[in-house]
Structure 1
């Protein structure tokens, strides 16, 4: 299993990279076999699996910010380890799922744990990495995620080839074991970051009162629909609306993964500060809109022209995807006041969860089903969302002097002392 480059990063960040590689390897195994396990082995219908995931997604969305506050109060390390252990439990429990109600319960708890670990991990990055290295660390972890997921999904092919219940169970338990190993690396391989007591830290409602930040979260959620665009909409479009060969779908997916591995760190340069991050958000919207425009043209082309346009759209799309990720990381870190990285990272994750819930409707019902008018409407959504990111960042900077962030900053200085200062990096 190859490791991503990590030179120049502090040792504790390199250990976080290793922990992410282990965790995402297990996630890759489950991503490849989970749906088939639930339908072929557990006996659930496709509709039941989809409904369960929707309910779970809503549960994760609702608790994301409160669990970020938990990460601040307990300390990022303790919270991250606790949520990883909970995910190990729910993945193990999934091997016993034989009915829809139990599946919904397990999926909901899993989504809650996943939402909690996202906020805790974000706060951990903010505390472990120097402020000018946070976005680079995020980029490194995204590269690591693609490598880990790719290796896991590749090895899961063995499970799919054998296609027997006991092998599926081994795959699920392997994923559970990776949560345990990741928790062990975090617990014993990284310095313990201090908690922010409620008496000295910002209010647990600071992020939810920060209107500019919440608007940014919504805009970022719209831009994050690119995830489903790559995984769902483009493959469906290729298969149902163009004359391109089916094997091109694999080429486009591989192109996306390879581009992220090779270019994400480079694309993230310059997004450590708010101005650069805001520009990245605007450019991301422009590129994602351009990709939708190119896809719209393939509605009326054929043959080699269609293939060339689809490859072009995939390349433009992944450039927008990488810019959106880097810009979002930079803005979410920079707008968080001292002592509130956990809750702000939890609130930031809400945007992606919102995008994941909205994307299947927008991208399948509107873009794929309506054809070129649907793609142009989707392009407009991306374009407007990206264009408003710099506007919202400027709004946040103007309101900083008397808004919830300033209150939190004052709470995080003086009495809060070095604890808050450490969180700000």
Structure 2
């Protein structure tokens, strides 16, 4: 791991290293899971879909209480035991032989992973100064992209091999990565828990401004699904570009995030600038939608050029919007309930992922350029709404919208 790409020594560096180890295993498992379930556990596609849906619903409903658990017990404790538990829960898939066993194992996996993820966000707030959080998250996100890409490459080897031994090796590798994540957590500084009675397990659900931000941001980040779900089918059925252009778009996105996410986080250290960054990101995504729509029916070279330009605009919008959302999610939350608030914040993206694929397919694949325009307008409006939503939340919380002036 190149030292020059890591934060300076301290809590931020350790948080980054832990995330790299965690995402390496997660990246591999996400890429092989579906094929493992169908070919080795012998689930039907319908059973796999039902299992994924039930697991996702359980994680969604448990996200806020699991975040509250991190506040009450202490985020380091929850992160430690969540990932230590993930190791045997993942290894248990070696012995799963049917729908119910797979459902129980993957649901338990999902709950443990969400608990650990919520706690990790609370650790960032506790250990990293406010002015450094966006930069820390940017570095973490860049390394996540690298780790997931490596995991995806490893998954390609596993899938190409196609044997039970290969899938068993992938499961054990993932379990080892989660075990390593848990053990590395022991090196982090402990964070004291929130005193009993300071906030109820569902106190965040009464924080209307934070919930409004969660909803708007959850709708905004559905744009990440465009590259995975819609564009591959758009390229095949609505453009003259070669099929492999969808892979080129994904490579552009991954490379752009790795190269520029940290730079994109600069100037997002307060709520006002973070809301502006989120709005700018939404504008770039809206522009990307328009450019993608123009590729329909264009000549091969023109279609390829438009898809590349759209991919660059989308990647710029993604990294700028993400940089803004981190600061907002941290600073609008209560300091003594970061686990609960970050768990609830994750629900916005979860809900968006539940309806967005079908809606996007209907809009874009069935309505072509018109669908892209509708989507562009929707993202632009969400971006414009973000500063007002954040400003209202900051006023009600009494949080500073800009950094305090130095001197005096």
Please, what TM-score do these two structures have when normalized by structure 2? 0.94
Q: Residues 283-302 of structure 1 correspond to what in structure 2 (within 5 A)?
A: 283-302=280-299
For the 8 Å contact 2:286–2:376, the answer to whether it is kept is yes
CA distance in 2, matches of 1:49, 1:4: 42
For the 8 Å contact 2:37–2:48, the answer to whether it is kept is yes
- Counterpart position of 2:133: 134
Q: Does 1:6 align with 2:6?
A: yes
- Counterpart position of 1:412: none
Match 2:370 to one of 373, 394, 400: 373
- Counterpart position of 2:331: 334
- Counterpart position of 2:385: 388
Q: Does 1:212 align with 2:212?
A: no
How much does 1:2 deviate? Answer: 5.1
CA distance in 2, matches of 1:104, 1:4: 42
| TM-superposition CA deviations, 1:379-422 (whole Å, max 9, x none) | 22212221111111111123225xxx9xxxxxxxxxxxxxxxxx
How much does 1:72 deviate? Answer: 0.5
- Matched residue pairs, number? 400
- Counterpart position of 1:248: 245
| TM-superposition CA deviations, 1:225-252 (whole Å, max 9, x none) | 1221121211221122211111212211
How much does 1:84 deviate? Answer: 1.3
Q: Does 1:315 align with 2:302?
A: no
How much does 1:302 deviate? Answer: 2.4
- Counterpart position of 1:361: 358
Structure 2 unpaired stretches of 5+: 400-408
Q: Residues 177-256 of structure 1 correspond to what in structure 2 (within 5 A)?
A: 177-187=176-186, 189-199=187-197, 201-256=198-253
- Counterpart position of 1:162: 161
CA distance in 1, matches of 2:335, 2:151: 37
Q: Residues 30-109 of structure 1 correspond to what in structure 2 (within 5 A)?
A: 30-109=29-108
- Counterpart position of 1:282: 279
For 2:266, what is the secondary structure of its paired residue? Answer: coil
- Counterpart position of 1:267: 264
Tell me the C-alpha RMSD between the 2 structures. Answer: 1.8
| TM-superposition CA deviations, 1:197-255 (whole Å, max 9, x none) | 223x3333331111011011011111111221121211221122211111212211111
CA distance in 2, matches of 1:172, 1:57: 20
For 1:243, what is the secondary structure of its paired residue? Answer: coil
Shift in alpha-carbon separation, 1:197–1:386, aligned structure 2, 3 A: same
How much does 1:287 deviate? Answer: 1.3
For 1:371, what is the secondary structure of its paired residue? Answer: helix
How much does 1:193 deviate? Answer: 1.0
Structure 1 unpaired stretches of 5+: 406-425
For 2:336, what is the secondary structure of its paired residue? Answer: coil
- Counterpart position of 2:405: none
For the 8 Å contact 2:238–2:297, the answer to whether it is kept is no
CA distance in 1, matches of 2:298, 2:113: 42
For the 8 Å contact 1:252–1:314, the answer to whether it is kept is yes
